[in-house]
Amino acid sequence: MAPLKRFGQHWLRCEQTLDTIVRTAQLSPSDVVLEIGAGTGNLTAKLLPLVKGLVVVEIDRQLCAKLRRKFAGVEHLHLIEGDILRTDLTDSSALPYLPHKVVANIPYNITGLILEKLLGTIACPTRQWQTIVLLVQKEVGDRLTAKPQDKHKAYGALSVRAQYLAECEYICEVPPRAFYPPPQVTSAVVRLTPRPPLHPACDPRWFQQLLSLGFSNRRKMLYNNLDCVIERSHLSQILQSLGINPQARAEELSVAQWVALANSTSPPTHV
């Protein structure tokens, strides 16, 4: 079958990478796993012998028909033909078992939306998943795992949000030749382990808004990006009290420092 560009289809066919993804998930016979975009079923075939149940969401009708033929008679495979962004993964009446791990080669064109569905937001985190192992564009993998003042400038709002909600690990790089057809970008395997925040925000919605404003212009100093919600001299005093350079830019603050800043300030009445 020819891959469809509108679904961002690039099928992973490298056995070594497939094995790395499965190994990274640390699966056990009691696990129920979600796979997003099974494609031709290469990863599916490796997951099925290792788990209690596998829930597969595939949007492509032709691929679903192929998967049904390929895995006919496999009782612990539940195939959903549909859009992952519109699929309720918490409905126990519609699913034979609820998945608690994710192992997937996701479509790169909707990566941000999938990450938000799986992790939730700072203000409304998702608590369903124990482990999330994804094959993503390398640029996204770098951003998810970057640290402050990263030399590649990968650290940004996504880094802070993801690391606030989960432990984020960069597992390995995956070259284009590992796929059919080869994408124009290098990929990476990442593992996200959701957990309660190490440094909880008192007002998650305010923290979320402060973060968006802080990274709205990376070239500007923090006090310039936040002056619409915090008076400049007041912000300077707060940063100094937190041991942060008053002339710092957003990418210089760690996740803990961002939370401390949010907890030391409050939204103006018009926010």
Q: What is the CATH number of domain 204-263?
A: 1.10.8.100
* Segment 40-61 mean pLDDT: 96
Per-residue pLDDT tens over the stretch 149-176: 776 689 999 999 999 999 999 999 999 9
* CATH architecture for segment(s) 5-194: 3-Layer(aba) Sandwich (3.40)
Tokens 């597992």, residue located:
171
pLDDT value of position 64? 95
DSSP state of 60: -
Burial class from Cβ neighbours inside 10 Å (0-12, 13-18, 19+) for residue 189 reads buried
Which amino acid appears at position 35 of this protein? E
Tokens of 113: 């939306």
Report d(CA 147, CA 149) in Å as an integer. Answer: 6
Report d(CA 67, CA 117) in Å as an integer. Answer: 24
Residue pair 222/230 in contact by the 8 Å Cβ criterion: no
Order of strands, edge to edge, in the sheet holding 131-137?
77-81, 53-58, 32-36, 101-105, 131-137, 187-194, 166-174
241: left (phi over 0), alpha (psi -120 to 50) or beta: alpha
Which amino acid appears at position 243 of this protein? G
Residue pair 196/172 in contact by the 8 Å Cβ criterion: no
Per-residue pLDDT tens over the stretch 88-145: 999 988 899 999 999 999 988 899 999 999 999 999 999 999 999 999 999 999 999 9
What's the whole-model pTM score?
0.93
Q: Where are the domains of the chain?
A: 5-194, 204-263
Residue 22's pLDDT band (cuts 50, 70, 90): very high
pLDDT value of position 153? 80
